[in-house]
Amino acid sequence: MTTQCSYEIKINREHKHVHVPKMTGAEILRLAGKDPRCDELVQKLENGSHKTIKPDEVVSFERPGVECFVTVALDCREGSRCG
């Protein structure tokens, strides 16, 4: 019998449990109910700095601790694919 690992991440202060060790920025945004075309993902790092995660960039959850993210709305101008 295999046990499925669960990884805890936090997006905009909301805790989420995922069952995969890695996700792309776009997948994390969708998990938060955001559109990768209209929102940006920023990871809060342990040293207090922030890193922008590109939609196709892979983030690993395998290190101990909770990975924390915030979403930021992009400047969606008229005629864009947002909304």
Is the pLDDT at 83 greater than 70, yes or no? no
pTM for the model stands at 0.86
Q: Where do the domains of the chain lie, and which CATH numbers do they carry?
A: 7-73 (3.10.20.90)
Is the pLDDT at 1 greater than 60, yes or no? no
Q: According to the model, what pLDDT value does residue 78 have?
A: 53
Sign for the pseudo-dihedral over CA of 31, 58, 9, 40: negative
Q: According to the model, what pLDDT value does residue 72 have?
A: 96
- Model confidence over 3-44: pLDDT tens digits? 678 999 999 999 999 999 999 999 999 999 999 999 999 999
Residue count of the chain, please give it. 83
Contact 53, 42 (CB under 8 A): yes
The enclosing H or E element of 25 equals: helix 25-31
Query: Residue 10, class by beta-carbon neighbours within 10 Å (0-12 exposed, 13-18 middle, 19+ buried)?
Result: middle
